[in-house]
Structure 1
């Protein structure tokens, strides 16, 4: 299923350095996203996928894999030859989990025969790795952003995996991403629920297709 979003979101949010992500969320509000639902600007058109609200950015396709009940298994943003896979997970209020998750990813890659290099990125520490796939060697860049009781994990592929400066519209989507954590208690690291918009799920169930949302 492919959702194509063609409208711009009014420009990329100003970049800031967040030495302590959790503290910045407790302040007046971050200069850019990913945003908590309680802090998100309301003047941006977004695709509501439940726990993730993805801003409409020119030229970016939102591709999802969903089961027959409309529960999304995977979200990938695509722009040209670059892609950004997104996931969102429950986290404790008191501390972030990206440091721990990042180390587990590094160990998993090592077990699969791939070395990962830790690099300081604009969101903090990230992992760069080259893995073997059926299509050959592929570069990956893993990023994590801790928010209030949630963590967003992104995986860049394509040239954006080795050169963040070419991430372009995909980075704009990440900057404008909104997380709707909800109030219910959830185990730490449990994926937050993602669902197709109701009208899209109904249409897909009716005729087996998934049209682009209105305004695409």
Structure 2
């Protein structure tokens, strides 16, 4: 069952000042995705707890569930999709090399093809993944190692093969803020997300109001998929 609501106001996110060199041994990031401790540029973002996700006109956002926890977000726009998940990672080493090898094996195990190539975020995977209804579909697997976190992004649909369409979703990845938190987590454990307070309130109100007109003009939306 899907619960859909329309955002009525911009997400408010306060920028965090950059960490000085004497506060952290980690070099300052010069581009996103950003760590919550970075001095990242302000943008319209929806606060999902572990992620602050940038949004734009025509975007639809779905949150994916793993058991009782929200573990990822999907952004749909113009026949393209972006799926993002954030994970804990070791403090002094990244995990993208290891995860990239695992993803390659998984795609090949289901009859797909995959190759490494250089992308805007470093080495990524260009894959064709089998589907039941439409045959092999292109996908790009992107990984970014951050300070004690790892962000995995998958671009599919038209943006997987069209550079102009891909730019919109690549800019979403560049503007994501990851909120790792200080709690102990094992490497590769998912950083859990949460519904924004506005979303919870809207869903509660929706149960007491007439259904939205499905043919009305639609702005940025969030959908929870169960």
TM-score (norm 2): 0.76
Correspondence for 2:119: 121
CA distances 1:87-115 after superposition (whole Å, capped 9, x unpaired): 10000010110000000000111111112
Correspondence for 2:89: 91
CA distances 1:153-181 after superposition (whole Å, capped 9, x unpaired): 00111122123442132122111100000
Q: Could you say what secondary structure the match of 2:73 adopts? A: strand
Q: Could you say what secondary structure the match of 1:201 adopts? A: helix
Of structures 1 and 2, the larger Rg is shown by: 2
Correspondence for 1:79: 77
Superposition RMSD on alpha carbons, in Å?
3.2
Q: Name the structure with the higher helix share.
A: 1
TM-score (norm 1): 0.79
Runs of at least 4 residues off by over 3 Å: 1-8, 65-69, 205-209, 211-216
Correspondence for 2:148: 149
User: How many residues align structurally?
Assistant: 198
CA distance in 1, matches of 2:138, 2:83: 13
CA apart distance, 1:60: 2.3
Correspondence for 1:161: 160
Q: Could you say what secondary structure the match of 1:26 adopts? A: coil
User: Per the alignment, do residues 41 and 2 of structure 1 end up closer, same or farther by CA in structure 2, a change over 3 Å counting?
Assistant: farther
Correspondence for 2:194: 195
CA contact (8 A) 1:88 1:192 kept: yes
CA contact (8 A) 1:3 1:61 kept: no
User: Per the alignment, do residues 113 and 215 of structure 1 end up closer, same or farther by CA in structure 2, a change over 3 Å counting?
Assistant: closer
CA contact (8 A) 1:3 1:63 kept: no
Correspondence for 2:172: 173
CA distance in 2, matches of 1:159, 1:6: 29
User: Per the alignment, do residues 50 and 81 of structure 1 end up closer, same or farther by CA in structure 2, a change over 3 Å counting?
Assistant: same
CA distance in 2, matches of 1:104, 1:86: 17
Unpaired runs of 5+ residues, structure 2, are 11-24, 213-217
CA distance in 2, matches of 1:129, 1:215: 29
User: Per the alignment, do residues 7 and 171 of structure 1 end up closer, same or farther by CA in structure 2, a change over 3 Å counting?
Assistant: farther
Q: Could you say what secondary structure the match of 1:41 adopts? A: coil
User: Per the alignment, do residues 172 and 6 of structure 1 end up closer, same or farther by CA in structure 2, a change over 3 Å counting?
Assistant: farther
Q: Could you say what secondary structure the match of 1:108 adopts? A: helix
